[in-house]
Structure 1
Amino acid sequence: MERFIKSYLFSILFILGISVVFTGDLGFAAEVDGRAVIEKKCSQCHFRENGKWSRIESQRKTPEGWEMTVTRMQIVNGLEISPEEKRAVIKYLSDEYGLAPEEVKDYQYLLERKDWIVEKFPESLSLAQTVCARCHSFARAALQRRTAEDWLLHMDFHVAAFPTAEYQSGGRNIDWYGDAKRVAKEILAEQFPFETQAWTAWKSKPKPDPQGKWRLVGYQPGVGAYQGTVEITRTQGDSYKETYTVEYENGTKVSGTGTGIIYAGFQWRASVRTEGGQKARQVHFISEDGTRVTGRWFLPDHNEIGGEDVGYKIGSGAKVLAVSPKAIKATQGAISLKIFGVDLPQNPQVADISLGEGLLTTKVISADSNTLVVEVAVDGKAPIGQRDVKVGPVTGEKLLNVYDKVDYIKIVPDSAIARTGGATAPKQFQQFEAVAFSNGADGTKGTEDDLDLGLVKAKWEVREFFRTFDEEDVKYVGSIDQNGLYTPGEEGPNPERPFETNNAGDVWVTATYQPDGARPLMARAFLIVTVPRWNKPPLR
């Protein structure tokens, strides 16, 4: 009976979002011995079997995965552990029982909080989709490695902790427990085993050193492209301090500082704050050779708001990374072009810069090792298509597009979810963007040679998605501003709405753009506005 009550409370606590014991921030490390904490506070239940802690040393996870495990021990079993001790335990387990770069790369979108990703499943994973991905993302399972026995025990845990899995919608028409055991044995244990060559090899390799200066290029939906520099210095062990400055295409400059920690030798987690006081979290991944880092940053309370970037270590070799603008109209005449890179050739001359047929560099306005500003003469007969950008011996492939006209626009994303809020939970916004395209050289829409011309200033509207009579979702579910940011309505029953229902519903989001001298172009996206998400674990 006691075990049933604990299971019931565990389910209810997570449904209600009692997640305050999540550290929420893996960017700080404590001066505590994680192994000693486990020995003292965990080994009474996870006793040693053949020299290993039971269950603990039968699985491997990301830092977020281990954080969720320790949090569950707090909620269900009453584990008393300080925030410093908890961070130390997560650090130790992530280093000793973590994942290799190869094991993370296909599913890092979940760690980056890209909750809008629609997962696609091969036929070999169809049963796992039914059993696992009905309640949470499949990436949540795929970012773990367990022994065959532990995968089976994990299914037993699911039934004990979440008994409704067997009889809720989508589960009661199948033998959920039987299928779960099959998935554990035939799929998870085979495709995501505890012992792998990738992890064994990674454990023995020298780990990359992130210290130094990095050149950064990135993109934030709703704001635009940005570029800048980051300097990372070690404070102690695997803990670091960072100082950064970036500049957006629109001229906005942002500077700040932060603290970060590296898990498993390559997973960077940091907390940063701008000079204006805006906080953000970073989830990044360092390449095995230590010269490249990729990832995403996001706001703590609004993970949907953030940006993606890639950084290259200064001194690791010359690269051309991006240009602004990224599209040039063939009839434009002349244009100033910015070329962003790292370790670019010094004192480049006009003859050193090549943009392809019909684009002639006429002047180098300014130049340093990170940025070139050049003046370009555009021949009205310049061929339509993608161009490489060459600065001396260094080439950035397909960075620049030459087009004749805007043929159509798309809304990105073309389907999305927003969530009401404002009382018990923050609202979940949705940033839409209108992107212009050229049909490319073949003149046909939707083919491989279509050219992405970047964002356009569109007129945004919300229109009814007709599902039933007199629904009038548009009146209640929220609104969109003229920068494409959708703000959902307030949470809870609305007495002004028929049946006093919530401000939930589904609508079309439309964007209209009129190119100079051409007919208006329109695109639309489908938006579901639903209730708040109270439970926000790191992996969803």
Structure 2
Amino acid sequence: MKIRTLATAMGSMAALGVVLAAPPAHASAEALIRAKCLPCHTETEDGISRISHQRKTPEGWLMSVARMQIVHGLKITDEERRTVVKHLADRQGLAPSETTGVRYAMERRLNTVEAFESEKFTQMCARCHSGARVMLQRRPAAEWEHLVHFHLGQFPTTEYQALGRDRDWFGIALKEMVPELASKLPLQSEAWKQWQARAPQTVKGEWSLSGHLTGRGGFSGVMKVTAGEGRDRYTLAFDGRWDDGRPMQGRGRALIYTGYEWRGDLVVDGTPMRQVFAVEDGMMRGRMFLRDQDEVGADVVASLQQAGNSRVLAVHPAYLKAGEGAELRIVGSGLAGEVTLPQGVKLVGTVKRSATEVVVRVQSDAAARGVHAVAVGKASGGSLALYDSIAAVKVSPAFAVARIGGNGTPTAKVEARFDAEAWAAGADGKAGTEDDFRIGVVPAKWSVEPFDEAAVRDQDVEFAGLMDAASGVFVPGDAGPNPVRRMSASNVGNLKVVAEVAQGGERLRGEGQVIVAPPRWNNPPLP
């Protein structure tokens, strides 16, 4: 299958922040919708035409309102738009289970390689934008049909582009795709009914948080959430530390849509960042990324400190070499009781303990291997990889897209960031088998090489960008024609990403790929 990531599908528009401020007190959402929408839409027995027959994420509704402004001349203030988006996302959103598997679009994971069971869906819907954008909507058949007509009205060349001109695109869209979408993504669903009936979730309190930022490392800490001004609005304060011991602090605010869609806006160590989390049953999961550089982000998991919510979120570091000792930080919620370590790992002493973190010194024996559970009293969920040697190194992500920019142009560069994952051989001692297990992210020496003969010919290593040897952060070249290159080409390229990990007297090698592409011109909330 042709490799295609969200970063290659479309660029992105930094618009999430506009939804965080409190709405004006003088105008209700219903009044705004009547005043702003009914001049074009009509009231029907079952609601307002088009609007009442869709369910979307907050980002989806934001894009709809923005399109009304750009294409149809809707006059609406930023505050009014925030109010409308909040109202629609709360009442016509998606249940948590309906976003499973496609949250990467909301979380700005633009190097995700999409794969769908339906090849027709891939060709008909996911060739111009991400398939996730479609999967994060719900409509009845009549509305999916309207969407087909909208595509040809708004983008008349759709039928003549690749994977369009070789088939009866319009006929297939109406006769085959509309029934398929209406069946798989219906307006009414049992999941949505059940979610609407659920009691509001508890958000206020202390959240134990653990994360990993590619190109920087792991971190953990406590995020205190207090009530803010207005419904579903909160203030937050994060105090933590990186795995290398440096402090990490953040302050900001957050807004919850649809009862669980957490959108945070905060400043961490002087850098503006955003949070896109799903909150459910005392857990937060998602991604935290730079506001103005969304490719720089961290995977995050958090647990609320409350009765009955004892969990181990992570162990920092997540691996231990056989025969060696280390200091481990066990992060979670409700951490009380005896520390249970894998067989072959001895507890030497306890350095520190609280309800959110237990720091212990341990020693493993020479025979300890495999990934094993770590618990603290009734709190479970953590794991520790025990290994004797690294059998293989994998570059993560295996495929990424960077984009040239800057150089006096209005578009910024888009970096590519990589981790080196160490893997151990399974019980048979042979690498590359199904029982191999992941050790974790390890330090590596990074470099780039030409990916193919064309990259050699065009000297892509020299022009496409620079790889930081210590961090795995690749910074692409400048935008614009380069008179030094063949035919004054821009600084695009195709490079092999190489991670070398030292083990004894040898260096283990892992390989990935980075495509250095043209600038990112568009930046929609959902790619």
Q: Same fold (TM over 0.5)?
A: yes
- Alignment of 1:272 with 2:266, yes or no, is yes
CA contact (8 A) 1:403 1:440 kept: no
Match of 1:258 in 2: 252
1:330 aligns with 2:322: yes
- Is contact 1:330-1:402 (8 Å) kept? yes
> CA separation in 2, counterparts of 1:339 and 1:277?
27
Offset, 1:24: 4.3
Match of 2:6 in 1: none
- Name the CA shift for 1:396/1:19 in 2 (closer, same or farther; >3 Å): closer
Q: SS of 2:102's equivalent?
A: helix
Equivalent residue, structure 2, for 1:306:
297
Which residues in structure 2 correspond to 1:28-107 (within 5 Å)? 28-31=21-24, 32-50=27-45, 52-107=47-102
Q: Which residue of 1 aligns with 2:154?
A: 161
1:410-446 CA-to-partner distances (Å, cap 9, x unmatched) read 1111111110011221111000111222113321213
Alpha-carbon distance change, 325 to 270 in structure 1, aligned in 2, over 3 angstroms: closer
Moved more, 484-493 or 507-516: 507-516
Structure 2 equivalent of residue 460 of structure 1 = 446
Structure 1 position 18, deviation (Å): 11
Find the residue that maps to 1:207 and give its secondary structure: coil
Pair 1:528-2:515 in alignment? yes
Residue equivalent to 1:9: none
C-alpha distance after superposition, 1:178-205 (max 9, x if no partner): 1111344221111111111211222222
* 1:489 alignment partner, one of 454, 477, 480: 477
Q: Are positions 1:208 and 2:201 aligned together?
A: yes
Aligned residues: 511
Deviation at 1:19, TM superposition (A): 6.1
Match for 2:305: what amino acid? Answer: I
Residue 396 of structure 1 aligns to which amino acid in structure 2? G
Distance across 2 between alignment mates of 1:396 and 1:153: 46
Q: Deviations over 1:249-303 (max 9, x none)?
A: 11122112111111111111121112x431011111111x3x1111111112211
Q: Which amino acid aligns with 1:344?
A: L
- Given residue 471 of structure 1, which amino acid in structure 2 is its aligned partner? D
Within 1, Cα distance between the matches of 2:478 and 2:310? Answer: 51
Give the drift of 1:388: 1.7
Q: Distance in 1 between matches of 2:10 and 2:97?
A: 35
C-alpha separation in 2, matches of 1:390 and 1:60: 40
User: Partner letter of residue 474 of structure 1?
Assistant: V
The 1-side partners of 2:290 and 2:108 are apart by 10
Residues 1:373 and 2:366 are matched in the alignment: no
SS in 2 for 1:194: coil
| 2:311 counterpart residue number | 319
Contact 2:99-2:136 within 8 A present in 1 as well: yes
Find the partner of 1:356 among 328, 339, 342. 342
Task: Report the residue type matching 1:487 in the other structure.
Answer: V
Specify the code of the residue in structure 1 equivalent to 2:449.
Answer: R
Work out the CA distance in 2 between the residues paired with 1:255 and 1:17: 30
Q: Does 1:395 align with 2:380?
A: yes
Structure 1 CA distance for aligned equivalents of residues 39 and 70 of structure 2: 17
Higher relative contact order (CA 8 A, sep 6+): 2
TM-score computed with the length of structure 1 as normaliser: 0.91
Distance in 2 (CA, whole Å) between partners of 1:79 and 1:286 is: 33
Q: How much identity, in percent, do the aligned residues show?
A: 38
Which residue does the alignment assign to 1:108? 103
- Kindly provide the amino acid, as one letter, of the partner of residue 311 in structure 2: K
SS at match of 1:108: coil
User: How many Å apart are 1:379 and its aligned residue?
Assistant: 2.2
- Please state if 1:171 is matched with 2:164: yes
1-structure distance, mates of 2:30, 2:496: 53
| In structure 1, C-alpha distance between the alignment counterparts of 2:381 and 2:11, rounded to whole Å | 46
Q: Is the 8 A contact 2:226 2:235 kept in 1?
A: yes
Gaps of 5+ in 1: 1-14
Unaligned runs of 5+ in 2: 1-8
- Match of 2:284? 293
Amino acid at match of 2:475: T
CA distance in 1, matches of 2:459, 2:12: 34
Q: Secondary structure of 2:161's match?
A: coil
Deviations 1:225-257 (A, max 9, x none): 111111111222111111111211111221121
Cα distance in 1 for partners of 2:399, 2:345 equals: 38
Q: Does structure 1 retain, via aligned residues, the 8 Å contact 2:141–2:179?
A: no
Once the 2 structures are TM-superposed, how far is the Cα of residue 307 of structure 1 from its aligned partner?
A: 0.6
Of 361, 365, 369, 1:384 maps to 369
Contact 2:318 2:439 in 1 (8 A): yes
* Aligned twin of 1:478: 465
Q: 2:139 aligns with which of 141, 146, 164?
A: 146
Mapped to 1, the partners of 2:329 and 2:258 lie a distance apart of: 37
Are 2:416 and 1:409 aligned? no
